[in-house]
Amino acid sequence: MFKHKAKILGSTVLTASVLLSGCGLFETETQKKIDPPKTVSVEDKDAGEKTAETTENTENTVKTELYLIDKNGYVVPQTLNLPKTQSVATQALQYLVINGPVTDMLPNDFKAVLPEDTELSVDIKDGVATVNFSNEFKNYQPEDELKILQSVTWTLTQFENVKTVKLKMNGHELTEMPVNGTPISDKLSRSTGINLDTTDVIDITNTKPVTVYYIGGEEDSYYYVPVTRRVSNDEKDPIAAAVNELIKGPSDQSNLVSEFMPDVKLLDAPKVKDGTVTLNFDKNIYGSFEENVISQHLLDSLVLSLTEQKGVQKVAIQVDGKAELKTDDDKKLSEPVTRPEKVNTGSF
């Protein structure tokens, strides 16, 4: 089933790849970043006008990742242009409140996560962001508890000065969530995971987490979804583990897809030097494309996934030891690719 899903997505890439090529990928140091797909409703006749207005107003805004909930229940980063402010962390969380200032900016089929009327403040010191919520914070459904924890943690840790997160309500530190009692670490971080997938995991105590990015959404409105899988403690190389999870693909029960076909293999162990990881794949990485051409979606998923790893800033790809590759939108992979400053940018 997974292989079938991957082939379906591959057949749509040629029509969707223009959405990913926007800023001249690989052409300059600042442009060697992923430009994820734009999400514009086909029913939005004013989309062109809104895009122009957004461009004009960018001087007064700052691109901020908000971890919102999509229609399938995944916590997904969406980058929106928020008003410039001195309190970017506080503002980011304020834009997670249901029926708050984010309402008219929400991408299609996305919703905010924090209970309506929640007030909050954020204090950042020594890499720790302490969030103090008002009493309204507890007015959420039990099934949303983990999503709220993940959204707050990942939204705040996008900022370089935030490494971990602590939660308070009415000035009192929370050691567990107020509705379903989920324990809260005193140092929440991205290592806690997001969109947890424990499919086929029998003994979780003998596993460790690895976060990879699969593809969600629909044709012309794809976006990247971080998913934390569990891999065996016997897996010593976290980079190889992440690549293997991308090749394995998302759970058959999920609504996500991958551009990797299941017969792709790494020919050598990943090599990391000066922040750049080099991967040498066999020719199956081409999938349905001609030789020396790889999918832009596949590249994006790789870069986003591997730069979640400590010490990895860039990704270089080889096939059978050769690096003369290009993407399906004809962009040469002449240099290693860096992670984008923000994920899932676009006009909505």
Residue 225 phi/psi, 5-degree rounding, is: -120, 120
Tell how many helices (H) and how many strands (E) occur in the chain. 6, 15
List average pLDDT for each run of 10 residues in the chain, which is 348 residues long: 43 36 33 41 41 60 97 97 96 98 96 98 98 98 97 97 98 97 93 92 88 93 96 95 97 93 96 97 95 95 96 96 93 93 73
pLDDT at 220: 81
Q: HEC states along 205-254?
A: HHEEEEEEEEEEEECCEEEEEEEEEEEECCCCCHHHHHHHHHHHCCCCCC
What's the pTM value of the predicted model, to 2 decimals?
A: 0.84
pLDDT at 167: 98
pLDDT at 173: 96
CA distance linking residue 312 with residue 314, whole number of Å: 6
pLDDT at 346: 60
CA distance linking residue 315 with residue 264, whole number of Å: 17
Tell the residue number behind the tokens 């001195």, with chain if given: 86
pLDDT at 59: 81
pLDDT at 291: 92
pLDDT at 1: 35
pLDDT at 322: 93
109 neighbors 116 (Cβ within 8 angstroms):
no
Residue from 277, 289, 230, 287 nearest 257 by CA: 287
